[in-house]
Structure 1
Amino acid sequence: MTQPTTTTIVLVHGAFADAASYARVIPELLAHGYNVVAPAVPNRSLIGDAAYTASVIRQIPGPVILVGHSYGGAVITVAGVEDNVKALVYLAGYALEQGESLGELQGRFPDSDLASALVYTPFPIEGSTEGGTDVTVDVAKFPAIFAADVEPELAAVLAVSQRPLAAQAFADAAPAAAWKTKPSWGLVASADHTINPDVERFGYQRAGMTTTEVDSSHLVMLAHPKKVVELICEAAQSVAH
């Protein structure tokens, strides 16, 4: 008799962060018996990042619960159309409509505190004379905007170890919206100063998601890991066969 394949939780990090932002969630998910994959997203363009994430998903046997934080929400919106993705979980994330860009969605709402704290730095692109632009958060402003309820010592480390997001990612239009065909859950970080919480609410409501709100900063996985694990497990159990 064939043993059932264990569900894999794929954790997609956001901009200005890396997979270590899930450090408090991963041990809990492993303890629940799930396989966990937390890839390093290139953070170069929405279309390219989604293609990379989709390539990771395709190599995973069995069902996948796809989780995206922040910009990672936009990535899973596109990559989540892969056949073995059974559910989507958005954590303080962008749930784009097909044909919509991050810039367009954010532009409909008042700016968060992040807007005035962004730093733009040119970087070279091989084969291009123009290069690209990296976007980061002012290191001094990062803790208050991104991680107000995370320990100050950890927030300081996160501030100086940011993964930049290329400006191109804000302009790419989502070629697909996986939430149209996949069950989806959304967590609003109601004390978020990185993404206006109304942007999160709007995207989730438009998608008809099961939505929960947590009084948290943007880095809800570090500030409230148990709440995040509960939501991921709820999604995984709801689609288990």
Structure 2
Amino acid sequence: MRALALAAAIGVSGSALAQPADPQTKPTIVLVHGAFAESSSWNDVISELKRDGYTAIAAANPLRSVAGDAATVSAIVRSISGPVVLVGHSYGGPVITEAANGNANVKALVYVAAFAPETGESSLTLSEKFPGSTLAGAIATIALPDGGQDLYIQPDKFRVQFAADVSEDQAKLMAATQRPVTQAALAEPSGVASWKKLPSYMVYGSEDRNIPPTMMSFMAKRAHAVKAVVVEGASHAIMVSHPDAVASLIEEAASAK
């Protein structure tokens, strides 16, 4: 009972993630993974950020629905009293776009090989806007009890499709630990496009087979991105294969005045 009372007291008094409201404090970096990945995909990016004095949190993205997933991330953002930079990979892009709404402490959005949807767009509608994605041919589906579908990348196709510039052994581990996304989440229309009022940054690879580089370039121009970085030869798993380039852009967004 005492343990329960203590836990309740902690819950009332504030979150363990809360940061002191110091205007000199560097922004906290909240990293949101996308479909077919999970939080540890940010490990090397986090190491780079921590080395440079940043606090980073890799949020667990449920991958169930844009609105629901964004609410989960938004709760983390609200627990932080200082400024926040939201970073999303792939489907994590729509999630951070929505999670930023209503949170005045979000100072910038960083899209890492990620969708930056306009209001009413979905990941699926964006993926069909330009040719070049080969993801559809690599997908495996599992029926869910509610009648929906979970989508995975077939393990034998994972490296070529998702992480071509990652070592074979690491790609096999990533394929085994990938998190599925629901078909419904990819088809869900986005809400208000927060990139219209917040500075946005984008980094992506020239060899991305999930989201074509032409699509990323279009979204960067549409969002009037402060900076867009193209990493030559990089795959969709750019945060794993090129954590230095990703961390560098995040820090640029975090330090901008």
* Shared fold, TM over 0.5: yes
Q: TM-score range by the shorter chain?
A: over 0.9
Residue aligned with 2:179, SS: coil
- Give the structure 2 partner of residue 229 of structure 1: 247
Q: Does 1:165 align with 2:181?
A: yes
2:125 is the alignment partner of 1:104: yes
Match of 1:89 in 2: 110
Partners of 1:10 and 1:64 within 8 A in 2: yes
**TM-score normalised per structure 1:** 0.93
Name the counterpart of 1:5: 25
Which range moved further: 35-44 or 100-109? 100-109
Equivalent of 2:83 in 50, 57, 63: 63
1:147 pairs with one of 145, 153, 163: 163
Measured against aligned partners, the alpha-carbon deviations of 1:33-68 in whole angstroms (never above 9, x if no partner) come to 111111110000111111111111111110001101
Q: For residues 194 and 104 of structure 1, what CA distance do their matches in structure 2 show?
A: 13
Amino acid at match of 1:214: V
Describe how 1:20-35 pairs up with structure 2 within 5 A. 20-35=40-55
Which 4+ residue blocks in structure 1 deviate beyond 3 angstroms?
2-6
Q: Distance in 1 between matches of 2:74 and 2:223?
A: 21
**In the alignment, is the contact (CA less than 8 A) between 2:132 and 2:209 conserved in 1?**
no
- Taking structure 2 as the reference length, the TM-score comes to 0.87
Give the CA deviation at 1:131.
2.8
Residue of structure 2 in register with 1:38 after alignment: 58
SS of residue paired to 2:36: coil
Per-residue deviation, 1:214 = 0.5
Q: CA deviation at 1:111?
A: 4.6
Q: Secondary structure at the match of 1:54?
A: helix
Amino acid in structure 1 at the alignment position of 2:193: A
Equivalent residues of 1:5, 1:61 under 8 A apart: no
Q: What one-letter code is carried by the residue in structure 1 that aligns with 2:29?
A: I
CA distance in 1, matches of 2:86, 2:119: 18
Aligned to 2:197: 181
RMSD: 1.3
AA at the equivalent of 2:83: P
User: In structure 2, what residue type is equivalent to 1:222?
Assistant: V
Q: What amino acid maps onto 2:237 in structure 1? A: L
Alignment partner, residue 195 of structure 1: 211
Equivalent AA in structure 1 for residue 41 of structure 2? S
Instruction: Give, in angstroms, the shift of residue 174 of structure 1.
Output: 0.7
1:48 aligned residue: 68
Structure 1 residue runs without a partner (length 5+): 125-129
Distance in 1 separating the partners of 2:68 and 2:56: 22
Q: Which amino acid aligns with 1:229?
A: A
Corresponding residue for residue 127 of structure 1:
none
Output one character per residue of 1:142-169: Cα deviation in whole Å (capped at 9) or x when no partner: 0111111111111000011110001111
Percent identical among aligned pairs is 45
Cα shift at 1:188? 2.2
Q: Which moved more, 1:226-235 or 1:195-204?
A: 195-204
Post-superposition offset of 1:84 = 0.7
Check if 1:78 corresponds to 2:95: no
Tell me, which stretches of 5 or more residues in structure 2 are unaligned? Answer: 1-20
Q: Distance in 1 between matches of 2:239 and 2:125?
A: 26
- What is the CA-CA distance between 1:5 and the residue it aligns to? 3.3
**What is the total number of aligned residue pairs between the two structures?**
233
Give the secondary structure class of the aligned counterpart of 1:37.
strand
2:39 corresponding residue in structure 1: 19
SS for the counterpart of 1:140 is helix
